[in-house]
Amino acid sequence: MKTWTKALVAAGALAIAASGVARADEVADKQFKKYCQKCHGAEGKGDGAEGATLAEKPRDFTDCAAMAKESDDKLFEVVKVGGKAIAGKKSEMPAMGKSLSDDEIKNLVAKVRSFCATGAKP
């Protein structure tokens, strides 16, 4: 195979891989809007309309200092099994494990992490 043909094949493979990442991001955006935004707010600041009615304020995903203390595994667990995964707290956060696959939850964790990069509190 000629070098330019190999380069073309490699470029095509990269384009396909990139479209998969873009699709995962788009799905995570939609899932955040559907499942999380009402409590955590559109910008992840914990200021959603339904969150204001809860006994405990929803987490502010833009608080980078607080978010840095939580591992991805812990965030995954909280999304999957709900607020009961948070040690020592009674949380009203519902479990998403029956609505979302593990891969979808991992993508949602990445979405939650992205808020620290965009409206972050140091």
Domain positions in the chain: 3-118
The 10s digit of each residue's pLDDT in 19-50 is 445 588 898 999 999 999 999 999 999 999 99
Fold classification of 3-118 is Cytochrome Bc1 Complex; Chain D, domain 2 (1.10.760)
For residue 121, what are the β-bridge partners?
Answer: 63
| pLDDT score of 5 | 46
| pLDDT score of 7 | 44
SS3 per residue for the chain: CCHHHHHHHHHHHHHHHHHHHHHHHHHHHHHHHHHHHHHHCCCCCCCCCCHHHCCCCCCCCCEHHHHHCCCHHHHHHHHHHCHHHCCCCCCCCCCCCCCCCHHHHHHHHHHHHHHHHHCCEC
pTM, entire model? 0.75
